[in-house]
Structure 1
Amino acid sequence: MFGLARLAAAILVRVGALFLFMATLMAHAAAGVTITGATPSTFSGPGQTITFHFRIDQENAIINSVALTMNHPLGAVSCSPALPIQPFETTNCTATYVTQLSNNFDIVQYGTYDLTTNGGPRGGNVAGQVTVTYVPPGVPSLSSISPTSGPVTGGTSVTITGINLNDVTSVTIGGTALIGTTVVNSTTIIGTMPANTAGSKNVTVTTLTGSSTLAGGFTYLTPTITLSPTSLPPATAGNAYSQSVTAAGGTAPYSFALTAGALPPGISLSAGGSLTGTPTTTGVYNFTVTATDANGFTGAGAYALSIAAPTITLAPATLSASVAGSVYAEGLSATGGTAPYSFALTAGALPPGMSLSAVGSLTGTPTTAGSFNFT
């Protein structure tokens, strides 16, 4: 009897332990996802990021992934500790939502979940719900725009700052819409300037609650076109000349034209900015070259081009000797200028009986012995 009693007690103890173990399993058998909060708890317009917090409770299986189907769709879910998690563990997760233009009322977030586990898929309703309160924005007020100026051709990237820049319906610069308007947050807007006429323009931001204007906040500037070089190298009459004039500061391509003064005779200016030719007359010639860019803006450069006389050299440097009473002939030639050349006696006197032709022939029969100097 005593042995049977001990056996019965042992069986009861073992059965009790089994019941205890089964009760523990049942207590942890149900998985669940609970929404626990949101950060921040208020919003006032589109483009604001709200982070929702969730908790995945204990599950008697390995949880590999979670998918949330909420009435306001969320981004990717991030958990800590990261999935997968082991049986009976708990993890806290977050997912974000970016408010839309249509969100002008409280956001009440709720939905369902789907888990993938080593025991198969499981799902259900997310426990609880969270409300993010809509706080209507005030009337917008602009404080600055940066930069404050740019070319009339547009293309300048700008940042507009102020307060209550929510629910933006338009941004205009001098009545023309800002290109690529992006509301970064309730205090910042970015975009690209459109083309406009020169001068100061009003910057206006309009929202669902009102508008604000920076009077003359942005100035459109015409480009400053400069010509190079600022001065021209001199030229020599009778010698070929070539010099390029270039422009910068506007939009290529540029065209060039003579707009004042006169070029030296023999020199011409091409539409591409090339000064070329062979000058024929000495002197200083003053003129203005104007460059026009692809958008019709102009810049001018004033120039003075000096044309120097060429250095003409005569040969031979020394004349051969002559004998009184004997026929003499010597030819003079010239280089350094532009042919044909003409020759003339300009100083001194030739020996009696000698003459100089216009083509440089020194000929005749000298009648008097001696040394004669002439130019």
Structure 2
Amino acid sequence: MTSVSPTQGNPAGGTPVTINGSGFTGASAVRFGPNLATNVVIVSDTQITARTPPGSGTVRITVTGPMGTSTQNVFFSYTTVAAPVLTALSPSSGPTGGGNTVTITGTNLTSATQVLFGPTPATILTNTPTQITATAPPGTGTTNVTVTTPGGTSNPLSYTYVTTPAPTITALSPSSGPTTGGNTVTITGTNLTGATQVLFGPTPATILTNTPTQITATAPPGTGTVNVTVTTPAGTSNSVPYTYAAVPAPTITSLSPTNGPTTGGNTVTITGTNLTGATQVLFGATPATILTNTPTQITVTAPAGPPSVVNVTVTTAGGISNPLSYIYVAAPIVIGVSPQFGPDTGGNSVTITGSNLALASAVNFGPNPATGLTVISDNQLTATAPPGTGTVVVTVTTPGGTSTLGPGNPYYTYLGAPVINTLIPDTGSSLGGDSVTINGANLTYTDSVTFGGTPASFSVLSDTLAVATAPAHAAGTVGVQLHTPAGNSNTLPFTYDPA
């Protein structure tokens, strides 16, 4: 563990916290002192979110995983929560029918449990320590707005309900559309807040968005020229004409991107002509979610599909477009990395094996991007490790997505360079055979010990202790050096006495 945010919270518990560190994959418990946290979510190998249990004072946080329990000193302080204070409302007035968004500014507003307009609760939309947005309920006259948190109830601020004038329409865009309806029409005007109905002639339209000066609605089917009107709690607007007309068939010319993951979810831009009022976009036989729609461009969220090539088509009131090909790419899988260890300074070449790697665009060692990406085959690539610490998961990103933990061993461990501090003894017989204790740091993964370039047999007892048997050597002083996957250590002198 390296840090927690925030570092303090309510003694009653329930404070959401984010814990940062490494080796969190498979974690089974998070404790604040002796007490178990709730709502624990392992976001990644380096991050956990949780809610604090009840407690008091300052306690140490621990995370328990398959390799044991963390020992770092990361602390959390339980403190009394201050009462909320309100300083401003924006706006400070609104329609008697409510429904408008009010921004409440102040301090100590975290974890608001209730916002009241007089005796009537409002719907809380967003909540930060200094700001809340809420949907005003219906009301009349001037009333007090208060906020309640675990720290108590705030001071009141005045909010005034005002009578709203009747709506007025000034423009429609577009002012015509297909007889089958289904296209989006933007209605511009004044006093449009709280629209309860939009009529195209006698037929209701579906309201999509509503602000004081603009409404977007889905036009219903119809023929000829009809009058569009808007109704709010204040009355019905003037009418503006809308004409139903024949629509040409859509044509699509390009897709961007032309491929994506089998899980779908990526945004695809479709360019063409006569795309207004698209009612359906198909990837093969599967509908996509339409995000935006103009006469020359549609953006959609691609649906899921198996690894394959499918036809994308657009349907409007004018018919079905020509098809364009879209490729579903299987997600990459990382099975192993070689070597699995390297220096914390990075810079070494690592070979990554797996499947579906041919279209790799990025390799990450934990959160850090690698450089020097070279694709060798669909099953193998190489990359230059970035600097890092601890044990991280190596991931590969392609148009099919980013690899996730699965079969194999996609872990890479960063090692600090080995250091020798002392040799005990630092002299011995030129015949060899003397046992030499090596004290230092980062010795766990030692793979060779040399005395003046001559290999010695050795045993590693801990990360700070190794024991080597001095090989035979001519009398004189030589350098003793260790090597690990992180590189060579410094050298210390060892003196061979004549036999």
TM-score > 0.5 by shorter chain: no
Bigger strand fraction: 2
Bigger helix fraction: 1
When Rg is computed on C-alpha atoms for both structures, the one with the higher figure is 1
TM-score for both structures, normalised by structure 2? 0.32
Bigger RCO (CA 8 Å, 6+ sep)? 1
